Structure 1
Amino acid sequence: MPVPVLFVRGWPLLALAALFTVAPQAQAQRVSARDKVKIEALDQRMAAAEKRYADAQVLVANADPKGRNESDAALEDMEDVVSDCVAQKGCQVSNLLTTYKRLLKSNADAGNEEEQEIAGSGPALLEADPDHIGPLAADVPEAARAAALLNDKRHAFDNMVEYNPAVQAGIRRWLTDMRPALLTSYENYQNLRSVMWPEWEKRGLPEALLFGIMAKESNGRVHASSRAGAAGLMQFMPATGRRFGLGPDGTGFDTRFDARSAAEASATYLNERMRELNNSVELSLAGYNGGEGRSLRVYRQNPGQGFWVDSVYNQFPAETKDYVPMVIAAAWIYLHPQQYGVEFPKISAQPATLRLAKSTTIYELTICLGSAGTRDGYMRVLRNLNPRYEADGWIPAGTLINATTRIAGLYNRYCVSGPRADLARTLITADLNAAIVRPNAASYTGNVAVGSVVPVAGVEAAAAATAPTAPVAVAAKPKPKPVRSVKVGKGDTLGRISDKYSCDLRELARANGLKAPAYALRQGQSLKLQGCGK
């Protein structure tokens, strides 16, 4: 999320802060009573601008179109105040920057998706650089922050990996045919960032690496699963997941699909690999994808050699050789979007909870919420934030679900009552069978023209006397198809079995007591082929 950067006469305010801390300020100046009155007026103007900005953020969070204009106007007020302070004898710019610090922290915490850049001031120093705008970064003194922002070596991750032609080829793929997947991954991650990033931050791992792994593994889809049995955002295999506390929780839910749990487990797992592999990001990623045992064995056989040395590189499978540079490439773009002409989506993702006023489904919420502020609507956000609920499963009234402040505002406006709420309920309860007309055969009158019927004397009576009595046909009841069974083989999934035997996936799952979305199977398990055609 871009941080608002204010400019005064071409200088970013944060850079000015750094300069003012280096150069001694004119505190020894004698300030006249008239100057003191002017300085006090500037302080009052800054306080008013801050309040105006805070009020605007409430409008933005509630999807009110006036919010953007008001926040822009408030920032312009601040720019004017700081400009006047620079020209005013005895005015301490650093004092006014305290107000700006509060604004910066509020903006980072609120997840405001609007880019607060003063028109005509040139590009901001930061654009989509989350390593330096996280929740904890707001506590860094502004002068130190300004110095950090002006330092080209601010990305620690850049020095942790090798930027070579393999990574460049990965960047090329992300920026061409895989660009939509990259942007989708970014949007999904931003909506999950508040629950995922803290788990990596507290374990000292770079956020860009978290994004890179998630983008390559799942594109930020919480319910992603593979034929091999990997599941969730970070694609944990069942056995590996169990080692780090992931798996069925007793309620039918697999915690590999929970974003916070997956982030915590993946950070712990990666740190474990890093300790074993001399803090090599590449070898640790190779272990994440190709197996920790293989990675450790190759490392021990080639002490001091990195992943890109041929004797090391050639011992990994093709999938791992592709995986490592693709993860690093996604992380690199995440840190350097402007360098590659990437404009990440602006996401309003301030977390919030929402208590449902009436029973609903995620599908129904997706319809009534609309798509204001997003390209694809809010179904993926709701599913990612509430992985325990199926998209078409009814959620009782009074349930507290995870959302964002924008979703909460749209819900209260459009989903509780009113035309859009009614329309969403109509669409979600529409029954396809109700569209099929089945006329009553007894009352049906055809429209076939047979011409004029002229009765012939004696014919009707003779026909009635000689016609044989036809037996009344009784329709036989169809015999129910016998329920067969099949044993689960190695690598089988419920979807694969459903396709093979032409089954209705949900009916097959219900008949065997399997819970969505994991549909966990074990090799050798016997399944009833309920609802299957073959």
Structure 2
Amino acid sequence: MLVRPLPALAAFFIALLAATSTPVAHAQSKRDLAAAATLQQRMDAAEKRYRDALLAEDEETDGTVPGAALTEMQAVVAACAKQKGCELPKMLATYERLLKATPQDGEGDPGSEDEDPIDEADLATDYVPGSADAAALLSEEGQRFVRMVQFNPAVQAGIRRWLTDMRPSLMDSYENYRYMQHLMSPAFKRNGLPEALLFGILAKESNGKVHVGSRAGAIGPLQFMPATGRRFGLGNDGTGFDTRYDAAASADAAAQYLVERMAQLDNSIELSLAGYNGGEGRALRVYRGSGGRSFWDADVYSQFPAETKDYVPMVVAAAWLFLHPKEYGIRWPKVNSRPAVIRLQQPASIYELTICLGNYGSRDGYMRALRNLNPRWSADSTMPVGTTLNATTRIASLYNRYCTRGQRLQLAEQLVASNVQSALVRIGPMTSASGEASAGADASGAAPTQFAPPAKPKPQPAKPKTHKVKRGETLSAIVRRFDCDLGDLAKSNKLKAPKYAIRPGQSLTLAGCKG
């Protein structure tokens, strides 16, 4: 971002200090003192402009203001060296403060090897167990999650999936989580649960998209069913808003739910996750019936549905990658997630804000972040003046620059207000090349009540009606491949829960499948 290398300025200032370091007694007039005070004011103002530019983070400020501020500082220092009564060491102290506040070469740029650290300053300051904070989780001694789960071929297969065809989903999940981290992670920390576990569940359940819902009725970032949500305080808050969509409330409910499950299931994360996905009653019955054996015991594992057999290792795999990104060559997206608030200066919808904000600092723009942080508002609802929206410092800066006035705001308003019907015009009946009205038009010029037969749709490739099971293929893999409803597929092929056993060569009727 800097337009002038700080080391070069440092050399300039040090040389200047060396040249003027010999003290000389001067009688200082009021004019000298006033001139020295003016120089100090200029230096303070330049420092403030520079620091403000670091925080502003918009396209033009990033490039021009810092360079101008540094040029001004250099001019002030040069003038100070010639001015009686001006304290050059004090001026250089200002520069040193600036140097300490400025990222050095390579820090945070796309070519560096630094990871995007979890910024504890972004999180709530509530007391949490030290062993559960992010710094402890990322340290070798604090990886309680790693010691609490089994790293086995099933988890490795999950890691392979997250790092291949599901890598975009993993990256999206991380980026979405970082915007909501300050809302969600404190609940897990208060309950002594690893943050990595929260990320794994979020990634598998919703990819961090707050408004996702399932056909079974589960909604929100952590996909609570209505009845389970009510048990843990989620549901209609009296205004018509379902708090299962709320990131903080759903995280708190999930933490309570998992603490309850782990207390019943000998602190087994895998069995607790099986209960989260496949039903707590089933998990407890299987656990007690097996005498407390591990989820990975063949007899225990076989009693869970295919979806749960897939769910547990995938959550553990995502959590593992959250803790070990560098080992697997992962560079998480850089996310400016420091919380801020926007107060609308004029009516707007999230669609309109998304357009005028642009996508500076983000590949995909800020629609998902705004929706996740403000789940009460639908994307196309016009919000009144004075509405307070949760955002980040970057979004707030872009809003103040582009969404309160100017050309981009006007374009956003025009685009949001546009519709297809306004593009259509009705002039009158069509005429032939000879200038006569089209055949069948009556004397008034009105078109006849006659319609051409609709064009025949292009034939679509036939969807497969059956599928022959291949060696090593599971029912969950078939469900994913053909986008099937597990219940419909199992019913039509008389597959009995919970095993849903299939064999190589078996022909399955693909009922309830879209693909």
- TM-score (normalizing by structure 1): 0.61
Match of 2:319 among 324, 331, 336: 331
* CA-CA distance at 1:155 after TM superposition: 1.8
Match of 1:388 among 376, 395, 398: 376
Matched letter for residue 178 of structure 1:
M
* CA-CA distance at 1:286 after TM superposition: 0.4
- TM-score (normalizing by structure 2): 0.63
Matches within 5 A, 1:91-240: 116=107, 123-124=113-114, 127-128=115-116, 130=118, 135=123, 152-240=140-228
SS at match of 1:401: strand
Matches within 5 A, 1:393-412: 393-412=381-400
Match of 1:466 in 2: none
Relative to 1, partners in 2 of residues 1:131 and 1:408: Cα closer, same or farther, differing over 3 Å? closer
Matched letter for residue 448 of structure 1:
S
Relative to 1, partners in 2 of residues 1:345 and 1:123: Cα closer, same or farther, differing over 3 Å? closer
Q: Which has the higher contact order (CA 8 A, sep 6+)?
A: 1
Match of 1:286 in 2: 274
* CA-CA distance at 1:448 after TM superposition: 1.9
Could you tell me how far apart the structure 1 residues matched to 2:109 and 2:214 are?
46
Could you tell me how far apart the structure 1 residues matched to 2:118 and 2:289 are?
38
Match of 1:417 in 2: 405
CA displacement, residues 308-360 of structure 1 (integer Å, 9 cap, x when unaligned): 01121111111101000000000000111110001110000111110001001
* CA-CA distance at 1:139 after TM superposition: 11
Match of 2:296 in 1: 308
Relative to 1, partners in 2 of residues 1:281 and 1:129: Cα closer, same or farther, differing over 3 Å? farther
CA displacement, residues 256-308 of structure 1 (integer Å, 9 cap, x when unaligned): 11111101100010111011111100000000000000111111112241110
Matched-pair contact (CA < 8 Å) for 2:170–2:203: yes
SS at match of 1:353: strand
Relative to 1, partners in 2 of residues 1:350 and 1:115: Cα closer, same or farther, differing over 3 Å? farther
Could you tell me how far apart the structure 2 residues matched to 1:264 and 1:54 are?
41
Match of 1:343 in 2: 331
Could you tell me how far apart the structure 1 residues matched to 2:200 and 2:138 are?
25
Matched-pair contact (CA < 8 Å) for 2:258–2:272: yes
* CA-CA distance at 1:156 after TM superposition: 1.9
CA displacement, residues 179-233 of structure 1 (integer Å, 9 cap, x when unaligned): 0000000000000111111111111111110000000000000000000000000
Match of 1:448 in 2: 434
Matched-pair contact (CA < 8 Å) for 1:128–1:335: no
Match of 1:439 among 422, 427, 430: 427
Could you tell me how far apart the structure 2 residues matched to 1:304 and 1:176 are?
35
Matches within 5 A, 1:17-96: 56=51, 59-63=54-58
Relative to 1, partners in 2 of residues 1:61 and 1:189: Cα closer, same or farther, differing over 3 Å? farther
* CA-CA distance at 1:55 after TM superposition: 5.4
Could you tell me how far apart the structure 2 residues matched to 1:119 and 1:184 are?
18
Matched letter for residue 207 of structure 2:
N
Residue 355 (structure 2) pairs with residue 360 (structure 1): no
* CA-CA distance at 1:130 after TM superposition: 3.8
Matched-pair contact (CA < 8 Å) for 2:138–2:323: no
> Which 5+ residue runs of structure 1 have no aligned equivalent?
1-47, 75-98, 451-469, 477-534
Matched-pair contact (CA < 8 Å) for 2:126–2:186: no
Relative to 1, partners in 2 of residues 1:229 and 1:151: Cα closer, same or farther, differing over 3 Å? closer
SS at match of 2:141: coil
Matched-pair contact (CA < 8 Å) for 1:57–1:67: no
Matched letter for residue 434 of structure 2:
V
Match of 2:236 in 1: 248
SS at match of 2:180: helix
* CA-CA distance at 1:52 after TM superposition: 6.8
Could you tell me how far apart the structure 1 residues matched to 2:190 and 2:289 are?
33
SS at match of 2:391: strand
Between 1:151-160 and 1:229-238, the stretch displaced more is 151-160
CA displacement, residues 386-427 of structure 1 (integer Å, 9 cap, x when unaligned): 111111111111111111111110011111110100011011
Could you tell me how far apart the structure 2 residues matched to 1:270 and 1:236 are?
13
Extract structure 1 runs of 4+ deviating beyond 6 A. 51-54, 68-71, 131-134, 136-140, 147-150
* CA-CA distance at 1:437 after TM superposition: 1.4
* CA-CA distance at 1:63 after TM superposition: 2.6
Matched-pair contact (CA < 8 Å) for 2:352–2:413: yes
Match of 1:298 among 286, 292, 304: 286
Could you tell me how far apart the structure 2 residues matched to 1:250 and 1:325 are?
38
CA RMSD, Structure 1 to Structure 2 (Å): 4.0
Match of 1:461 in 2: none
